[in-house]
Amino acid sequence: MDGIFINGKRPKSKKDIKDALLTAPHTVVIESTSMFGGFGGSALDMPEGIEIAFVGPDPYTRRSFYGTLSRKGMNVKVK
């Protein structure tokens, strides 16, 4: 499970991530937590055709919500 940042801060809810992707998608950054690699970077740069599972607000200390991100074109979806 990867982490998420919005403007360098942890989101408080999945709704915060959805809102940021609608208004300023370039501010949403995925934090890869795997020691074996994985995608880490802007949500707009993630490869198409894959889903990234995330947990928040902090994947290491506080797991209050879960979800997935996927990208098609310049649109990033949260489930």
Q: What residues in the chain have per-residue pLDDT under 70?
A: none
Q: What pLDDT is stored for residue 38 in this prediction?
A: 85
Q: Residue 16: phi, psi to the nearest 5?
A: -60, -40
Q: What pLDDT is stored for residue 53 in this prediction?
A: 93
Convert the pLDDT of each residue in 42-54 to its tens digit: 999 999 988 999 9
| Beta sheet of 62-72, edge-to-edge order | 51-58, 62-72, 75-78
CA triplet 45, 26, 41: central angle to 5 degrees?
Answer: 40
Residue range of the domain that includes 10: 3-78
The CA distance from 53 to 73, in Å, is: 19
Q: Per the structure, how many domains does the chain have?
A: 1
Instruction: Enter the DSSP assignment of 36.
Output: T
